[in-house]
Amino acid sequence: MRRFLFLAVILLISSGRTIAQSPTTLKDAYKSCFTIGAALNPAQFTGQDQVEEAIVKQQFNTISPENVLKWEVVHPQPGAYDFAQADKYVEFGQQNRMFIIGHNLVWHSQTPKWVFEDGKGNPVSRKVLSRRMRDHIEKVVARYKGRIGGWDVVNEALNEDGTLRQSPWMKIIGEDYIEKAFRYAHKTDPQAQLYYNDYSLENEAKRKGALELVRKLKAKGVPITGVGLQDHVNLDSPTADQIDTTISEFGKLDVKVMITELDVDLLPWPASNQTADVSLSVAADPKLNPYPNGLPDEVQQTLAKRYADLFGVYAKHCGLVTRVTFWGVTDKDSWKNDWPVKGRTNYPLLFDREGQPKPAFNAVMQLGPKVAP
Ligand code: G3I
């Protein structure tokens, strides 16, 4: 028997056929479909957290900045820029041959008040705010030209009903602040991919608003490359069908679709509506934190099934879905431990607090070769 196996291997090698090794990393398991990545905090790209940095280098081929490229971090005061952490993030990405994402240029959150006000605290004019937006985008995008491959240009500009959010950008500049942002970014780095990024786009009303927004931008020749579905999901909502429909609908508008901030919240949801709006905050309550000392195996299996279903839908749209990024590396650092309730023990990602792969990781890996040949 051993003799027969040895001969079979020799025959296979001499015929030039390779023995199909099953992929061992997420990036290899889905490389024929989309890139796979994670949002990083400074500990994960500055050598402080060796365990998580190793996971990033091994498993992923694209990275996103959880916070270090946001306005309040890189441009805290008028004329004052701080690129220390952002430079390290981009260097890490280049050293490890990652497709590097920039997040984000224009958002209603984590943007300092001075951006929208004059010295006396009054709202600035449309002209002044447009110039401040242009200066910021030109400064930040130019610094990483040719290194950051894709930018979340505008983040979360819609309300749940699909109307435009009445942010200071909207109130002071007006609806065309979105078009301006894309044009400023494109003029600064014509090669960079440019995205509109938002959450809960699987909800019909909000999706309709986003589709209309993209349609209008495309009609005006605004250089939008793709739409980011954040996908901060729960165990059962949005459904796989809702996500499937959403990806198809945007595909019809000739834009790429990316899953940009994936995590699965499996703790009790303490609010009436499904949202990822960072301003939501709910008081702590032991009933809302049922697994402080570890996740029961049956819940691990439920999470694994959920992730397999999600990746089944993403891979169904191979080529249209070009990237899947997790919002964090391990359960330890996930924002979902402190949102919308501070101090909970959540388990939303594929790697546990020790950096070990969870059943959900195995489920996603096993699916890969079947759906992404
Ligand atoms: O940097 C300060 C630190 O100096 C201070 O000591 C500490 C004390 O609270 O706060 C630190 O700032 C925190 C920052 O993360 C960096 O860790 C802010 O309080 C905290 O609010 C901020 O949370 C980020 C959140 O965006 C803010 O909006 C989360 O890490 C980040 O995961 C989250 O990411 C957003 C995406 O950008 C857009 N989509 C939704 C997603 C989740 O809210």
Rounded CA-CA distance 303/4 in Å is 43
- Per the CB < 8 A criterion, the answer to whether 37 and 97 are in contact is no
Q: Supply the pLDDT for residue 58.
A: 98
Beta strands in 277-341 (DSSP E): 321-326
Q: How far is the CA of 249 from the centre of ligand 1 (A)?
A: 31
Q: How far is the CA of 67 from the centre of ligand 1 (A)?
A: 6
Residues near 10 by beta carbon (within 8 Å), at least 6 away in sequence: none
Q: How far is the CA of 340 from the centre of ligand 1 (A)?
A: 12
Q: Supply the pLDDT for residue 304.
A: 98
Q: Please report, for the chain, how many H helices and E strands are present, in that order.
A: 12, 9
Q: How far is the CA of 254 from the centre of ligand 1 (A)?
A: 33
Ligand 1 atom 36: the closest Cα is on which residue?
66
Q: Which of 212-236 are b and which e, b meaning 16 or more Cβ less than 10 Å from the residue's Cβ?
A: ebbeebeeeebbbbbbbbbbbbbee
Hunting for tokens 């041959």 — which residue is that?
97
- Find the distance separating the first CA and the last CA of the chain, reported in whole Å: 31
From 158, 278, 325, mutation site for ligand 1 pocket: most ligand atoms within 8 A of C-beta: 278
Q: Which ligand 1 atom is the nearest neighbour of the CA of 104?
A: 37
Q: How far is the CA of 341 from the centre of ligand 1 (A)?
A: 14
Active site residue 261: yes
| pLDDT, averaged in runs of 10, over the chain (373 residues) | 64 57 89 96 98 98 98 98 98 98 97 97 98 98 98 98 98 98 98 98 98 98 98 96 98 97 94 70 90 97 98 95 98 95 96 98 90 71
Q: Supply the pLDDT for residue 357.
A: 98
Q: Supply the pLDDT for residue 76.
A: 98
Q: Supply the pLDDT for residue 146.
A: 98
Taking the CA atoms of the chain, what radius of gyration do you get in angstroms?
A: 22
Rounded CA-CA distance 310/188 in Å is 36
Q: Supply the pLDDT for residue 93.
A: 98
Ligand 1 site, residue 345, Cβ cutoff 6 A: no
For residues 162, 168, 174, 176, the Cα torsion angle rounded to the nearest 10 degrees is -70
Q: Which ligand 1 atom is the nearest neighbour of the CA of 70?
A: 37
- Per the CB < 8 A criterion, the answer to whether 253 and 211 are in contact is yes
Residues near 185 by beta carbon (within 8 Å), at least 6 away in sequence: 105, 137, 141, 151, 153, 192, 194
Q: Supply the pLDDT for residue 13.
A: 58
pTM to 2 decimals? 0.94
From 200, 262, 281, 335, mutation site for ligand 1 pocket: most ligand atoms within 8 A of C-beta: 335
Q: Supply the pLDDT for residue 9.
A: 61
The packing angle between helices 204-219 and 240-251, to 10°, is 10
56: region left, alpha or beta (phi > 0 left; psi from -120 to 50 alpha): alpha
Q: Which ligand 1 atom is the nearest neighbour of the CA of 103?
A: 37
Q: Supply the pLDDT for residue 228.
A: 98
Structure letter (DSSP) for residue 259: E
Q: Which of 53, 66, 249, 261 is catalytic?
A: 261
Q: Which ligand 1 atom is the nearest neighbour of the CA of 230?
A: 39
Q: Which of 52, 53, 66, 156 is catalytic?
A: 156
How far is the CA of 60 from the CAs of 24, 27, 57, 211, 348, in angstroms?
12, 5, 6, 30, 17
